[in-house]
Amino acid sequence: MSESSLIAGPTEPVGRGSMALAMTLPPWRAASRSAGASSTAAPVASTTTMGRARLFDHALGAYLGLAIGDALGATVEFMTKREIAQRYGVFRDITGGGWLKLKPGQVTDDTTMCLALGDALLQGQRLGRPFDPQLMAEAFAAWWKGRPVDCGNTCRRGIMRFLNDGSIAGPPSDGDGGNGALMRNLPVALASIGRPDLLHSASLAQAHITHHHPLSDAATLSVGAMLHVLLGEPEPALALPACRAIADALVARHPPMRFVPYPGRASAYVVDTVQTVLHHFFAANDFESAVVGAVNQGDDADTTGALVGMLAGARFGAQALPRRWLNKLDHQTRLLITEQTAGLLALALAP
């Protein structure tokens, strides 16, 4: 398949390229897994041509939105909200730099760990080992050995444990309450659409390779459920209230995650991350304002930007992504994301 059919070019509307891809993927001829999904599954988008095109557009919006938020937020990562305001006013352009000295449009571990996990899921499909945690751990190890631009301490510790003793899950730990498992779970959500049981088991499997903490688990599962609603609910007016119900249930189970009123913290602690992400996701009426609001909080801005971008992209679709940001995003990253999104959705909808 030519590159032009995989990703929109600089002057081509995103929706046109994504719809073309969605309509030419052979695996999409198969019906969805409605018979195998539990009764609590979010509705899966129709398998008509328009239904498939919509699902692909919103799934691609989630993945590209994650990468855009990552690339935007990386510039102001570890800055305070006040420092950002003093230097930029409102920061809203992908310029690179930051403490990692990135090129404009370059992404960090938020995006590259997603791509590593997605590769493991697709490899499992090819090998007849679907959602195999061993393959996930091996993919993270290979990613680490490839010298990524950044890696969080908890992710590094978990990967090194796997390399040292081969264990694919660490013991529960109070030190595992960071956002690393949450930030990379999008591929699991895409590959398990219509199957909440699989979302649950595969999300925890990938999470526990590096993060084994009840708040990390709860956040990863709840955001995954929100993604399923945003991608699978055919009535847009119903999707946001359903997501809010999931968020409210998360807070009811884990009161420290309360995000109303917004406490204003945006660190890598999963509670702070979730509060920032949910506050800006629900407060915004468009993709750009959601992402700009989150990254201007500073601190772990690449991850909060990535997660808000993921949810907002799933809500509004790839066609709603700002062209100036999409054009700045690293070209190879755009290509890999588009290819992987197609593969993961084909996996989800396979008979």
Residue from 257, 247, 228, 246 nearest 315 by CA: 228
Helix (H, G, I), strand (E, B), or coil: what is residue 269?
strand
Is the model's pLDDT at 82 over the cut of 80? yes
The SS3 of residue 226 is helix
Q: CB neighbours (10 Å) of residue 65?
A: 33
Is residue 189 very low, low, confident or very high in pLDDT (cuts 50, 70, 90)? very high
Asked if pLDDT for residue 247 goes beyond 70, the answer is yes
Higher-confidence residue: 222 or 53?
222
pLDDT greater at residue 288 or residue 44? 288
Q: What is the mean pLDDT of residues 195-205?
A: 98
Mean pLDDT of the chain: 88
308 alpha-carbon distance from chain centroid: 9
143 sits in which H/E element? helix 133-145
Please report the pLDDT score of residue 102 as a whole number.
97
Read out DSSP for 20-73? HHHHH-GGGGSPPSTTTS-TTPPPPPPSSHHHHHHHHHHHHHHHHHHHHHHHHH
Q: What is the pLDDT of residue 307?
A: 98
Name the pLDDT band for 253 (thresholds 50, 70, 90).
very high
pLDDT tens, position by position, 318-351? 999 999 999 999 999 999 999 999 999 999 998 8
pLDDT at position 41 is 54
CA distance 180 to 155: 7
Phi, psi of 206, rounded to the nearest 5 degrees: -70, -35
pLDDT band, very low/low/confident/very high, at 51 (cuts 50, 70, 90): confident
Mean pLDDT of 81-89: 98
Residue 335 contacts residue 94 (beta carbons within 8 Å): no
Residue 1 has pLDDT above 80, yes or no: no
pTM across the whole model: 0.88
Mean pLDDT of 44-70: 86
List of domains in the chain:
3-349 (1.10.4080.10)
pLDDT at position 298: 98
pLDDT at 194 > cutoff 70: yes
Q: According to the model, what pLDDT value does residue 270 have?
A: 98
Q: Please give the Cα distance from 150 to 144 (Å, whole number).
A: 9
Instruction: State yes or no: cis peptide before 261, omega within 30 of 0.
Output: yes
